[in-house]
């Protein structure tokens, strides 16, 4: 069953006095028990998608979508309190920098107790409530693999290492027993061993508790070990979408291929210290978006036709947006089917 369904989400924001499409017809969906990777270079719009799902965009920004639904309910038509209820109960979000997201002046135990919704507490008196909340905190922190739980609860955020803080954020996010966890680049800047711990925690939460996860990352290699499906974003547009293994083996879009080629483990033939291949140039700024395909100026396969914006196409349960895809015969690519609108 589809939990979150986004179709043709467009977000116009004001940048240097002009309205620009920071997200342009972005589509993705997440099913029950699915881990979906959302990948793309820095500045491609990943965090804007997270904000759009959370309903946390500045009011002056213009958001439109053919569909933005949670279990079939239209998120864009809900009032603030209905939306907040879903964000409190069903969807939890964690951000890349746990230390910035936590209050430096309050011990973590207090912050955890405050995050526990009252409906989870069944006792009457305040001292009983405090004790029950402590029990919940101990159980949740143990569940995410924090070893010295009591020390963690008695510490301030600056007294603990990054991995413990990120696990603490995950535990706090899970306390309301959400169905979907959105993790916005939670491993950015972390050491490899810390990264691995967070990834394996996500994998086990998905496996043991059926938690669906939207794992947002610029680091394809990090999420390849846990994700079932992938959405590739470039400059505010979804360029490819499909099962991770199939996209990994045969990327259709030149940008997906460049991402795969940049991830060392995806190229087993490479010597460990070989220089990584990447696309020339950088992602365009919102004020200087190219006409037609936004990858055009950087794309090794670009041709005249690419000044026309490519429409989304669907083939073998995969979607892509490119006039000259890889691994697809020309005749297959000319079949413009309606399913393509899914991307
Ligand atoms: N508050 C903002 N005001 C203006 N532009 C913004 C704002 N937040 C993000 N952007 C722009 O939107 C684009 C996408 O940003 P972001 O979603 O943070 O990318 P990512 O998370 O993929 O690194 C970038 O060009 C960024 O500069
Ligand atoms: S449409 Fe053209 S420029 Fe865009 S990715 Fe495909 S080949 Fe490259
Ligand atoms: Mg971001």
Per residue in 40-65, pLDDT (tens digit) is: 988 999 999 999 999 999 999 999 99
Q: Report helix, strand or coil for 43.
A: coil
Euclidean distance between CA atoms 168 and 90, whole angstroms: 19
Residue 311 inside a domain? The answer is no
254 close to ligand 2 (CB < 6 Angstrom): yes
> Pick the residue with more confidence: 331 or 221?
221
Euclidean distance between CA atoms 219 and 86, whole angstroms: 29
pLDDT for the residue numbered 338: 45
Average pLDDT over residues 149-169: 94
Q: Are 172 and 115 in contact (CB under 8 A)?
A: yes
Give, as residue ranges, everything with CB less than 5 Å from ion ligand 3: 46-47
pLDDT band of 39, cuts 50, 70, 90: very high
DSSP string, 199-211: HHHHHHHHHHH--
Which listed ligand is nearest to 325 at the C-alpha? 2
User: What DSSP state is assigned to residue 187?
Assistant: T
pLDDT exceeds cutoff 90 at 119: no
Residue 296 inside a domain? The answer is no
Q: What's the total number of domains in the chain?
A: 2
User: Do 56 and 115 belong together in one domain?
Assistant: no
> Pick the residue with more confidence: 189 or 287?
287
- What residue numbers bound the domain in which 70 lies? 2-90+179-277
Residue nearest atom 5 of ligand 2, based on CA coordinates: 322
109 close to ligand 2 (CB < 6 Angstrom): no
User: What DSSP state is assigned to residue 329?
Assistant: -
pLDDT for the residue numbered 276: 44
Average pLDDT, the chain: 89
295 close to ligand 2 (CB < 6 Angstrom): yes
pLDDT exceeds cutoff 70 at 221: yes
Average pLDDT over residues 18-28: 94
Q: Is 277 left (phi over 0), alpha (psi -120 to 50) or beta?
A: beta
Output the CA 240–ligand 2 centroid distance in Å: 12
| Range name among 146-150, 196-200, 292-296 with the lowest pLDDT average | 196-200
- Percent of the chain scoring above 90 in pLDDT: 68
pLDDT exceeds cutoff 80 at 337: no
pLDDT for the residue numbered 339: 44
Q: Are 12 and 72 in contact (CB under 8 A)?
A: no
User: Do 30 and 139 belong together in one domain?
Assistant: no
Which listed ligand is nearest to 13 at the C-alpha? 1
Average pLDDT over residues 128-152: 91
pLDDT for the residue numbered 340: 46
For position 190, which CATH number holds?
A: 3.40.50.300
Question: From the alpha carbon of 294, which atom of ligand 2 is closest?
Answer: 4
Q: Report helix, strand or coil for 264.
A: helix
Long-range CB contacts (within 8 A, 24+) of 8-12: 8/65, 8/66, 8/67, 8/341, 9/49, 9/52, 9/63, 9/64, 9/65, 9/68, 10/63, 10/64, 10/65, 11/45, 11/48, 11/52, 11/57, 11/61, 11/62, 11/63, 11/236, 12/61, 12/62, 12/63
Token pair 């033939």: residue:
269
User: Do 65 and 134 belong together in one domain?
Assistant: no
309 close to ligand 2 (CB < 6 Angstrom): no
User: Do 81 and 19 belong together in one domain?
Assistant: yes
> Pick the residue with more confidence: 96 or 145?
145
Residue 206 inside a domain? The answer is yes
Residue 325 inside a domain? The answer is no
User: Do 71 and 139 belong together in one domain?
Assistant: no
Residue 326 inside a domain? The answer is no
Euclidean distance between CA atoms 218 and 43, whole angstroms: 10
**Residue pLDDT, tens place only, 202-220:** 999 999 999 999 999 988 8
β-bridge pairing 91-94 and 73-74: unpaired
pLDDT for the residue numbered 8: 96
């Amino acid at each position: 069953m589809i939990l979150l369904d986004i179709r043709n989400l467009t977000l116009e924001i004001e940048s240097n006095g002009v309205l620009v499409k920071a997200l342009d017809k972005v589509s993705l969906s997440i099913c029950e028990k699915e881990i979906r990777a959302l990948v793309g270079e820095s500045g491609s719009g990943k965090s804007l998608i997270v904000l759009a799902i959370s309903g946390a965009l500045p009011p002056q920004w213009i958001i439109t979508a053919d569909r933005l639904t949670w279990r079939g309910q239209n998120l864009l038509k809900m009032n603030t309190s209905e939306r907040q209820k879903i964000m409190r109960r069903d969807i939890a979000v964690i951000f890349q920098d746990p230390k910035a997201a936590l209050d430096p002046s309050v011990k973590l135990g207090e912050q955890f107790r405050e995050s526990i919704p009252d409906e989870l507490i069944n006792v009457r008196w305040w001292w009983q409530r405090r004790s029950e909340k402590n029990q919940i905190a101990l159980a949740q922190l143990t569940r995410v693999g924090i070893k010295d739980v009591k020390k963690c609860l008695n510490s301030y955020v600056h007294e603990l290492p990054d991995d413990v803080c990120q696990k603490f954020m995950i535990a706090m996010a899970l306390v309301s027993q959400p169905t979907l966890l959105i993790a916005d680049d939670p491993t950015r800047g972390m050491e490899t061993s810390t990264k691995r711990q967070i990834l394996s925690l996500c994998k086990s939460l998905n496996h043991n508790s059926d938690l669906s996860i939207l794992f947002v990352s610029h680091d394809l290699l990090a999420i390849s070990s846990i994700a079932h499906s992938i959405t590739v974003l470039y400059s505010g547009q979804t360029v490819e979408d499909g099962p991770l293994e199939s996209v990994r083996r045969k990327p259709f879009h030149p940008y997906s291929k460049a991402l795969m080629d940049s991830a060392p483990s995806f190229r087993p033939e490479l010597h460990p210290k070989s220089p990584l291949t990447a696309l020339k140039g950088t992602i365009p700024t919102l004020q200087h978006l190219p006409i037609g395909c936004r990858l055009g100026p950087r794309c090794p396969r670009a041709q005249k036709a690419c000044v026309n914006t490519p429409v989304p196409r669907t083939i073998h349960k995969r979607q892509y947006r490119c006039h000259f895809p890889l691994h697809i015969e020309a005749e297959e690519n000319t079949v413009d089917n309606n399913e393509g609108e899914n991307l």
